Amino acid sequence: MMRSGITIGKLSAETGVNIETIRYYEKIGLMQKPGRTNGGHRIYTPVDMTRLRFVRRGRELGFSLDDVRSLLGLEDEQPSCAAVHAITVRHLDTIRAKIRDLKKLEKQLAKIAKECGKGDVFECPVIDALSAQ
Q: Where are the domains of the chain?
A: 1-61, 80-133
- Determine how many CB atoms are found less than 10 A away from the CB of residue 87: 18
State the pLDDT at residue 86.
Answer: 95
Better-predicted residue by pLDDT, 124 or 53 = 53
Output the average pLDDT for the chain.
89
Q: With beta carbons less than 8 A apart as the criterion, state whether 72 and 54 touch.
A: yes
- The CATH number that domain 1-61 falls under is 1.10.1660.10
Q: What is the CA radius of gyration of the chain?
A: 23
> Per the confidence metrics, is the pTM higher than 0.85?
no
**Mean pLDDT, residues 28-36 taken together:** 93
As a whole number of angstroms, the distance between CA 48 and CA 59 comes to: 16
Q: Is the pLDDT of residue 9 over 80?
A: yes
**Whose CA is closest to 30, among 21, 43, 38, 19?**
21
